[in-house]
Structure 1
């Protein structure tokens, strides 16, 4: 705890016993040759550390210090100075508690007016907030969002790609797009331990692609190699929900996304800092759509829970592409809200760039 090494292998009880028998550390060390067995050997080998440890643990009491008790006694407060500080910092509550009276704050000429607009975190003028209308579905009498749509009653076109030719066709389809939503399916919620099970892509709502990745690492690497040109395209903005996880998973396979990022989880955070922000909850709240629960595929949490590796490929395809599809739709909802809430600059210049920084750590 205190980083003082002591003698290796000699604990507190043994040390106390030795000091009781020999009186001082110096006497213990002087008689080290007479102490038998492993204990004697430990003391003989640790003589130097014992001396250093005692020096480190000894409190020096003769340091020349000038001390006048009156300098540390409680004096009368400098009320004028306190009022000035509390007024400058607008500490009205603290001022009343300490001084026993309220302080008068001057008129705040920093507040935005018609000729003096509000400034953002970067010192730039902020435009007046545009009026917004809610696009959220209604809540029931208990306050829960009613999500009437689901994969069973919503038209969609999710494609399963299992051959090189099918992947090549998808890449050709994606060539003209500069925004692609993607998601990874894995075997573990810890990105550092997860195996890649599949990749999903979506560029248009209600459509998308799923590429399964087998347990065989060599085959998965071959699939990722086919996608390397897409991942290396710096013109693409990659959309995802909690992108740090997906980027970490790909990092362990030697893959790095070169383009920009748009993380819908972070977008919602700057738009609405309070509350939960799982994709399922946001989908219900903003899209009125209930995604497939993961428990339907791998079971509830516990010892018997499986992984996405155990799921039938058709079901995995529906689940995986739905994730990418819903995330893309959430991005389309959040994009105008970033500007309306005047947090777009914080999102693009502060929060979003941190994803790649944290992934690289």
Structure 2
């Protein structure tokens, strides 16, 4: 009888010393290599931000972008934008959008690394616990029924709330006898995701043409329309989540050895798993609420960073944060500049890259396992 492939289906049998297939055992941080990789990512991120801030229908040279930043910091250095609308375009439109991209990308990257750590599988990603699908239900309901009880913040608030509720439902259904089995959690996530997708489809059916178009665009993800007031809502949640998840790094390394070994070493596995899920949900829900559903960043980025600097979460988490921010910033730059007078959905671009990469991961895992049963 065939079995359903789950993240724990590739775990080593109890009592063996090897970690789950696809998740290398934690070892010492490759200090020099990790530092170099993260430094290169930071330089690339800085250059991308500089180019992205000046790119668009109203072009602002890099020197003027730097000059505008320095003047806001009280340093009378560099030149301000020569275009009469340059300063307003930078500070009212582009900088908020860039900061939102940094926050959302970093949150997705770190959330993916944490999910892969607690599930013990490099194919895990934040959507497995229903965050994105749950957020979609709330956003689509607001769009279809025209609710405006919080003004322009109604859609983000509803998306954030339903994302949290969905995750609570998944975790509650998977919990039995004070413990949560990873296989059960994944299967419950799949089931709840299916229900949420059905609800979204029903809401699309109920909506008019304008509502359907808005739903489709929201589901594809975009940073268009990001403003400082939205950044002020997302920043505390994501930044607090990034700091808190980094404090879990050592315990995530021990968990990679297996639950039994981690317990023997003093790790409270159930508490660690619950904490990680809560932090991941907050970061992803905050990002999805304002940027829509952006796929594959949480899957692709942590895996690439792990391949570059090793499995230790002390380096993997900050590397995934910088890598996620870089990927989303690059995607947003392409979205704004690839087609004149158009703003492409970011989720579409990340899926175009992430889809083939996910297929490659599956084939790689199959080759290592010697084929599928």
TM-score by length of 2: 0.27
- The structure carrying a bigger helix percent of its residues is 2
- The structure carrying a bigger strand percent of its residues is 1
The structure with the largest alpha-carbon Rg is 1
TM-score by length of 1: 0.27
**Larger relative contact order (CA 8 Å, sep ≥ 6):** 2
